[in-house]
Structure 1
Amino acid sequence: MPLPFLTADRAFDAGAEDIALPFDDHDVWRRPYRPGPWRVAAAATQLLLASFVLLAAMIISLAGSLSAATACFVLAGLVIACALRLLRVGAWVSRHGVRRVGFFRTTTVPWGGAASVRTVQQPVKWLGFPRTVQGQALVVVRRSGETLPPLVTDHNADFLARAEAFERATDTIEAWSDEYSVAG
């Protein structure tokens, strides 16, 4: 089964670092980087928990309590849905704009509506927790002057302790912005 969210930067793995926009179809929303090890580990842990809940649901259903088994199946479904949503969180780009996918909310800014996309030094959340540390963040400033929450930071679940991957991802998103802000 192909997992397109894991093959996001396949062009960079092939040694094509000089290509800023490595994808053929620019109309498809893509994350220009791979999910980080912290994000994948959290999703894998959730899926492991869901497998135990499904096993419990099977045992409960064989014991004869269908209402409790149904509750376990629903709980396992929710845990699986949360794990899949966690893997979708991040910055996505296409010819149409930039999209910040959060766990509960998604914000899309068309390239024509973005005044700038740039990397700034600022306090950022460490792995999404309330604790902040000094770091870098990729921010979008709308033409109205509103600054959106950071698309990605160097201390989030995708880039913690992966400075080179952060630089490559932010350079790629900024290249998409330069390409389509001028063309749009």
Structure 2
Amino acid sequence: MPLPFLTADRDLDGGGRTADRAALPHTGPDRWRRPYRPGPWRVGTAAVFLLLASFVLLSAMIIGLAGSLTGAVICGVVAALLIAFALRLLRAGVWVSASGLRQVGLLRTTTDPWSAVAMVRTVQQPVRWLGLPRTVQGQAVIVHRVPAEEPRVLITDRNSDFQSRADAFERAADVLEAWAAEYRS
């Protein structure tokens, strides 16, 4: 079963390469797409939560067969929450389309139309390591909005998608800057 939110658009990688098969089932610029693949930290964490959900579902089945319907329902709800969390974790990231720039987080999604984006650029600054409070020196792609607000960090080279993947970060940063340059005007 194809999972389109796990794939990156190969046409967007800036390398000028075209794939024999499209990475996504659609090629139109009006569809939302992630210009990079999710990193191993993000995929591994989601896999652990899905594994945990399978154990909880197994325990729900055992509890239900033992005769405690309430306990089975509670375990089923916990498993459903774990699965929803894992899927949301996989979907988190930066998405682009011809209509704007979307930053999907675990609990919040922010969408900016290209008319509200003043500039997207890569800067050297202290960044959070894997989303934890600890900061290290690294690179970040930030977006400056038209109503002079504080710049917002889109991606960093130390987050769960790009940890130990410097080339992937550079490609994603170039693609985000190219989309901003093309659709901002």
Match of 1:36 in 2: 39
TM-score for both structures, normalised by structure 1: 0.92
Aligned equivalents of 1:129, 1:10: Cα separation in 2: 30
Identity %: 63
Aligned length: 179
Distance (Å, rounded) in 1 between the aligned partners of 2:15 and 2:159 = 23
Q: Which among 95, 99, 103 is matched to residue 96 of structure 1?
A: 99
Question: Which residue of 2 is the match for residue 150 of structure 1?
Answer: 153
Match of 2:119, SS state, is: strand
1:52-71 to 2 correspondence within 5 Å? 52-71=55-74
- Distance (Å, rounded) in 2 between the aligned partners of 1:76 and 1:148: 38
Q: Does 1:75 align with 2:78?
A: yes
TM-score by length of 2: 0.92
* Correspondence for 2:16: 18
Q: What is the Cα-based RMSD across aligned positions, in Å? A: 1.9
CA displacement at 1:30 relative to structure 2: 0.4
Aligned partner of residue 151 in structure 1, secondary structure:
strand
Shift >2 Å, 4+ stretches? 9-13
Contact 2:12–2:35, Cα closer than 8 Å, also in 1? no
- Structure 2: gaps spanning 5 or more residues: none
Aligned to 1:116: 119
| 2:169 paired residue number | 166
Unaligned runs of 5+ in 1: none
Determine whether 1:3 maps to 2:7.
no
What is the rounded CA distance, in whole Å, between the counterparts of 1:100 and 1:137 in structure 2? 14
SS of residue matched to 1:137:
strand
